[in-house]
Amino acid sequence: MFTLNLVIIIRLQVPRLALRRRLSALKGGVSRPAAWRHRPISFLCYILSVSTLRPLACRVALYRSFPTRLLSRAWGRLNGVELPTWLRKPIYSLYIWTFGVNMQEAAVEDLHHYRNLGEFFRRRLKPAVRPLCASSCLTSPADGRILHFGRVKNSEVEQVKGVTYSLEHFLGPQKRRCKDSSSSSSFRDDLLSSPDSDLFHVVIYLAPGDYHCFHSPTDWRVELRRHFPGSLMSVNPGVARWIKELFCLNERVVLTGQWQQGFFSLTAVGATNVGSIRIYFDQELQTNTPRYSKGSFHDHSYIADQTVKFAGEGGVALQKGESVGEFNLGSTIVLLFEAPKDFSFNLQPGQRIRVGEGLGSL
């Protein structure tokens, strides 16, 4: 591994003009140097995309061989180390400058208040800075950037433009909605409760500098939690372009249930250094454990579990804007939901969005 890393470093030592020409020749590659604060991810994308390194399959295999789960657990322990009071402001200030954090929105702006990096990452916001859009039936569950949105076609969903993943692999097996469903019906059709409805999706990427908590995008009831242990590869769009079904490979927590229009799901996708996904109303959930069976998943029904707070006959009732959970760093939220066919999004690909802003309307 040391020899391989040394070869990579040596190959990166090329004149800047030659580097630009080589990168610009790559479809979807980086054509100019990124801002300093984005260089760690850009550097990773560069390693995966340099044409002189190895064929694509080898580059992906090399990246997937990295012990990202182990590194994420180590990062989690580092986040919990209490920092001396005198050291907190310099470290947090460097992070704020690197990732463009807006501390004026934080409920506590004093950097000395946060005892460790974990507390700083999970900082709360002032109540007034994230008003809910009353005119929209569906609002953003997180701060971040819109990677993709639209109708689900052929039971395939785009994680970034041109790169798809299987809906069935992402959500896992589902119970059929109708007894009359034919054996030839698609996985997408099995999720729908009405022939007059369609299935839609939204993918929101949370960068390291974003607010790390996520909220309920609408009024709905959560009936099932499905936890998929898995890899913890970066979900940065630059990496997602290279790895098909990245969201199906990474660890994720899928919450499924019902809203006024039918099927609804919210999925928190883990990533490198985001091994810890917390759901506030589910204390039993444990993510990024040392051992797991590849391809396995674990279900927990909230309908049958009377020990869960707020659990009732129909599951866990959530109101629009209510806090649902948190990441320990940036990651991705995927919404999949049933809605009338005339549902329309009020979004643009790549736009920045914040908690409570409208996603679409009926």
- Annotated active-site residue in 38, 148, 201, 215: 215
Q: pLDDT per residue over 280-301, tens digit each?
A: 999 899 887 777 777 788 999 9
- Higher-confidence position of 219 and 61: 219
pLDDT over 90 (residue 8): no
- Higher-confidence position of 136 and 186: 136
pLDDT over 60 (residue 35): no
Range of lowest pLDDT (16-25, 103-112, 287-296): 16-25
Share of the chain above pLDDT 90, in %: 40
Determine the longest span between alpha carbons in the chain, in angstroms.
Answer: 67
Q: Return the closest-CA partner of residue 213 out of 133, 147, 268, 271.
A: 268
What is the DSSP annotation of 181-249? --TT--HHHHH-S-TTEEEEEEEEEPPTTS--EEE-SSSEEEEEEEEE--B-----HHHHTTSTTHHHH
User: DSSP state, 35?
Assistant: P
pLDDT over 70 (residue 39): no
Helix, strand, coil shares, percent, the chain, to 5: 30, 25, 45
185 has catalytic annotation: no
Q: What per-residue confidence (pLDDT) applies to 199?
A: 94
Measured distance CA(106)–CA(211) in Å, rounded: 9
- Annotated active-site residue in 38, 136, 143, 282: 143
Extents of the domains making up the chain:
58-122, 138-173+189-361
- Spatial neighbors of 271 by CB under 8 A, at least 6 apart, are 232, 233, 234, 235, 250, 329, 330, 331, 332
Q: What is the mean pLDDT of residues 324-351?
A: 90
Q: Edge-to-edge strands of the sheet including 358-361?
A: 138-139, 358-361, 344-345
Q: pLDDT per residue over 200-254, tens digit each?
A: 999 999 988 899 899 999 999 999 999 998 888 777 777 777 777 788 888 899 9
Distances (CA, A) of 234 to 162, 301, 323: 18, 29, 25
What is the DSSP annotation of 304-321? T-TTSTTEETTEEEE-TT
pLDDT over 50 (residue 28): no
Task: Using CA atoms of 52, 234, 334, 56 in order, give the dihedral in degrees to the nearest 10.
Answer: 20
Measured distance CA(214)–CA(279) in Å, rounded: 9
Distances (CA, A) of 112 to 75, 76, 96, 119, 233: 21, 20, 14, 11, 32
148 has catalytic annotation: no
Q: What per-residue confidence (pLDDT) applies to 78?
A: 77
E strand map for the chain: 138-139, 144-151, 156-160, 163-166, 197-205, 213-215, 220-228, 252-259, 262-269, 277-279, 298-301, 311-312, 315-318, 323-327, 332-340, 344-345, 352-353, 358-361
β-strand partners of 160 = 163
305 has catalytic annotation: no
- Please tell me the pTM assigned to this model: 0.79
